[in-house]
Amino acid sequence: MDKFLIKGGVPLKGKIEVSGAKNSALPCLAAALLTDETVILHNVPYVKDLITQRRLLEDLGATVLTPELRTHKISATSIVTFEASYELVKTMRASVLALGPLLGRFGQAKVSMPGGCAIGTRPIDLHLKAFEQLGAVIELESGDVVARAPKGRLVGAEIGFEKVTVTGTENVMMAAALATGKTTIRNAAREPEIEDLAELMNRMGARIRGAGTETIEIDGVEGMNGAEHTIIPDRIETGTFIAAAAITGGEIEITRCNPSHLRAVIAQLGTAGVEIAELNQSTLAVRRSASGLKAADVTTEPHPHFPTDMQAQYMALMTQAEGDSLIRETIFENRFMHASELTRMGANISIHGNEATVHGPTKLSGARVLASDLRASASLVLAALCATGETLIDRVYHIDRGYEMIVRKLRSIGADIERIADSSSANAEAGQGV
């Protein structure tokens, strides 16, 4: 398994570019299953999860061409199976996004039931209940979810999610697009990734209104067509870079981002003493304020509030802030795994249930630490960048799932970071190098 070796203490300086959003590209790739025509996606990030999603489509029988590195041309003309295998689902939960489009277009789908993962139990009961409301029959067979539309086609329905679910909303949008009649989703997720998916699907001939609000209306259509679409910038990568500038006391420009997608993050970090200026619609200038970082409490909530996917990075940053910061995690029940690793580096963090209090500031010093999930890995990288001495982060395959060329990008703004490749495995993140 590859590791990162980071020598901390260098203030980051220069320009860094944001990649396409992983969590938008994943459902957009799945949406290509809704038509037998070609869907062309640009700005698809070159990260492990997208390589897995591409493999999933190919296993189903789709062809995926990449005429350029970040452009995917997907043709799901001849689908040969309706099943996403356990092998894929166990490596990536977003494989469940195949359920909606397969069920919508072919009236059948089989996907291994995802198990729990490092950040929580993460059931898909809300997806399945919604499919049933659209007329699907769902059975659990030997650990697989088998879904069928008995009449061949789903039927539009009123769906009210008990809890906001991002991939649940996306799955229902894709399933309902080809149903007969109208579907209304209430308490829908409002993430920018939902809007991006709706934009692509509407270009493909779907009739979706209200994406980005709590109520989404979908008028089912008979068939969908090919389309071309550019994936939005990754707002969590943007937020991670903001935290990287602030934690190292550096000064950076973040380009090709969309600040309007991370208002809550910008506001929260502003309160904590990070100066963030919007130079234009896609560029941010970031530096730590002269008066330093100040403790500030935060609660994670669905968009447009502070995202759970920035919680770990925020925790790392607050280890350098003056005072106590209370961090409340309301989305996933087990998303504080990074806290104990940060503590090994010198942080002072106490945890009570879903609340963590960071007592800052504390000097961090390099250590050997273990990445437990994607965003936890990002928080360890941030901590290592400001720690004295060397930090060796193990299990960085987690970060490879969602951060494109992170080593190369951070090096370009002055970070002393290198990848130590495990000699027994070829570098999984092709093209990354060190």
**What is the C-alpha to C-alpha distance for residues 270 and 260, in angstroms, rounded to an integer?**
15
Which region, judged by CB under 6 A, interacts with ligand EPU, from 115-123, 195-203, 205-213, 351-359? 115-123
> Which of 14, 115, 123, 292 lies at the binding interface for ligand EPU (CB under 6 A)?
123
Q: How many residues at the interface with ligand EPU, by CB under 6 A? A: 23
Strands 298-299 vs 323-328: parallel, antiparallel or unpaired: parallel
163 makes contact with ligand EPU (CB under 6 A): yes
Q: Least distance to ligand EPU from the beta carbon of 114, Å?
A: 9
284 makes contact with ligand EPU (CB under 6 A): no
Q: Cα-flanking dihedrals φ and ψ of residue 51, to 5°?
A: -70, -40
94 makes contact with ligand EPU (CB under 6 A): yes
Q: Least distance to ligand EPU from the beta carbon of 338, Å?
A: 12
Q: Least distance to ligand EPU from the beta carbon of 115, Å?
A: 12
331 makes contact with ligand EPU (CB under 6 A): yes
**What is the C-alpha to C-alpha distance for residues 429 and 389, in angstroms, rounded to an integer?**
26
Residue that the structure tokens 């591409």 belong to: 54
139 makes contact with ligand EPU (CB under 6 A): no
> Which of 165, 183, 248, 319 lies at the binding interface for ligand EPU (CB under 6 A)?
165
Residue number with CB closer to ligand EPU (52 or 75): 52
Residue number with CB closer to ligand EPU (94 or 387): 94
Residue number with CB closer to ligand EPU (23 or 432): 23
Identify which of 125, 190, 196, 132 has the alpha carbon closest to the alpha carbon of residue 158.
Answer: 132
Residues 386-405 that bind ligand EPU (CB under 6 A): 402
> Which of 10, 103, 109, 124 lies at the binding interface for ligand EPU (CB under 6 A)?
124
57 makes contact with ligand EPU (CB under 6 A): no
Residue number with CB closer to ligand EPU (308 or 319): 308
> Which of 43, 52, 308, 311 lies at the binding interface for ligand EPU (CB under 6 A)?
308
**What is the C-alpha to C-alpha distance for residues 119 and 102, in angstroms, rounded to an integer?**
28
Q: Which of 28, 117, 257, 386 is catalytic?
A: 117
Residue number with CB closer to ligand EPU (120 or 270): 120
> Catalytic site residue 117?
yes
Residue number with CB closer to ligand EPU (10 or 188): 188
Residue 186 contacts residue 159 (beta carbons within 8 Å) = yes
23 makes contact with ligand EPU (CB under 6 A): yes
Residue number with CB closer to ligand EPU (119 or 349): 119
Which region, judged by CB under 6 A, interacts with ligand EPU, from 62-70, 118-126, 135-143, 211-219? 118-126
> Which of 83, 195, 237, 309 lies at the binding interface for ligand EPU (CB under 6 A)?
309
Q: Least distance to ligand EPU from the beta carbon of 412, Å?
A: 23
Binding site for ligand EPU (CB under 6 A): 23, 26, 94, 120, 122-127, 163, 165-168, 307-309, 331-332, 374-375, 402
Active-site residue set = 117
